[in-house]
Amino acid sequence: MHSATEYGRVPVLCDVQVFWPDELRDLSFALWGNDKFPYIFFFRTEELTLSWPELTEHLGYAPNFDPRGNFYSVATHRLDDFGGVEAYVRSLRHNYTRDGLYAPITKEELLELDGGEHLDEAEVDQALTIDEVETEQAPSLTEDEQEPVLASRTPRDAKFRILVRRAYGSKCAVCGSGLRSTTGEPEVQSAHIYPKKHKGKDHPKNGLCLCRRHHWALDAGWMSLSDDHRVLVRHNLPEQEDYEFIRKYTGAKITLPADKTAIPHPVFLQAHRELMGFD
């Protein structure tokens, strides 16, 4: 992290590209007029909107902590609540960058979000150049029937899948599961709230990141969501232990994306409840 500015912001996230391990006091003097900064780092930087008070709160530092241009290492346990160092960096990129959910995706993040194992060349190109989707307050329920039929839907499908997984950090919105295969592929799936087979719109607001079992429960109609994003369970859910993974979340509020443009919209939630007989 860059040190705080006079406006109280931490302006950039810095990935250290090169660290020169030897003291270069002459260079420090040439650059800053003193020899107090003899170690040279080369960074790749990304602008953040994170404030200094937010950073100190995240790290558990006292509000009056003031590094005054010095470098301090952060004990990794301070980031445990965020899932570790890498997860914290991902959350910074997701929640505190100018472009948020629709920022260009790197190949490294693509592998992190999708495993990459099942992506063909067209999907990779589409995923790496995600453009912001239409984010109207009340999106249409279905795809425009007048829209020309694509020869291949894979780019659009990939865009929806990547955006939804990115919005939820590749964790199930219901149970929080973040399982991965030995190749790093997430177990979670990007589910359409209003089903694709009914022309449900490829829009993040019509998406939920769900583990396979909760995806099945949504599609099977055993589970739905209220407009305030609480789990609804069908009244005649079988009593068998096999269905406990649904029953135990009755009334629980799902984990919502930090990016408001990806929060499930009532247009899709209401349509799903009506389709599945909840209303």
The verdict on 109 and 233 lying in the same domain is yes
Q: Is the pLDDT of residue 3 over 50?
A: no
Least trusted range by pLDDT, from 14-28, 32-46, 87-101:
87-101
Q: Is the pLDDT of residue 103 over 80?
A: no
Tell me what the pLDDT averaged over the chain comes to: 81
Q: What is the CA radius of gyration of the chain?
A: 23
The verdict on 166 and 262 lying in the same domain is yes
- The answer to whether position 4 is within a domain reads no
pLDDT tens-digit map of 80-98: 877 788 777 877 776 666 5
- The answer to whether position 47 is within a domain reads yes
- Which of 95, 112, 133 marks a domain boundary? 95
- State which residues form the domain around 67: 12-95
- The answer to whether position 7 is within a domain reads no
The total number of structural domains that make up the chain: 2
pLDDT bracket for residue 149 (50, 70, 90): very low
- The answer to whether position 3 is within a domain reads no
pLDDT (average), residues 143-151: 49
pLDDT (average), residues 188-194: 96
Predicted local distance difference test score (pLDDT) of residue 206: 96
Q: Please report, to the nearest 10 degrees, the dihedral formed by the alpha carbons of residues 163, 164, 168, 171 taken in order.
A: -120
- The answer to whether position 117 is within a domain reads yes
The verdict on 47 and 111 lying in the same domain is no
Looking at per-residue pLDDT, the higher value among 279 and 179 belongs to 179
The verdict on 258 and 202 lying in the same domain is yes
pLDDT (average), residues 150-157: 51
- The answer to whether position 206 is within a domain reads yes
Amino acid at 260: K
pLDDT bracket for residue 238 (50, 70, 90): very high
The verdict on 168 and 245 lying in the same domain is yes
Q: Is the pLDDT of residue 99 over 60?
A: yes
- The answer to whether position 271 is within a domain reads yes
pLDDT (average), residues 242-257: 96
The verdict on 24 and 139 lying in the same domain is no
- CB within 8 A of 177, min separation 6: which ones? 171, 187, 188, 211
Q: What is the DSSP letter of 168?
A: T
Percent of the chain with pLDDT over 70: 76
The verdict on 203 and 256 lying in the same domain is yes
Residue holding tokens 């719109």? 201
Dihedral sign of CA atoms 73, 75, 76, 82 in order? negative
- The answer to whether position 132 is within a domain reads yes
Q: Is the pLDDT of residue 39 over 70?
A: yes
Q: What is the pTM of this model?
A: 0.64
- Which of 95, 115, 133 marks a domain boundary? 95
Q: Do the beta carbons of residue 193 and residue 276 sit within 8 Å?
A: no
Q: What is the DSSP letter of 196?
A: G
The verdict on 138 and 201 lying in the same domain is yes
Q: Do the beta carbons of residue 105 and residue 113 sit within 8 Å?
A: yes
20-29, 159-168, 249-258, range with greatest mean pLDDT: 249-258
Q: What is the DSSP letter of 82?
A: G
pLDDT bracket for residue 113 (50, 70, 90): confident
The verdict on 29 and 162 lying in the same domain is no
Q: Is the pLDDT of residue 274 over 90?
A: yes
Predicted local distance difference test score (pLDDT) of residue 126: 67
The verdict on 138 and 242 lying in the same domain is yes
Predicted local distance difference test score (pLDDT) of residue 212: 96
DSSP string, 105-127: PPHHHHHHHH-STT--HHHHHHH
The verdict on 193 and 120 lying in the same domain is yes
The verdict on 123 and 199 lying in the same domain is yes
Cα–Cα distance, 94 to 219 (Å, whole number): 28
Predicted local distance difference test score (pLDDT) of residue 154: 52
Q: Is the pLDDT of residue 72 over 80?
A: no
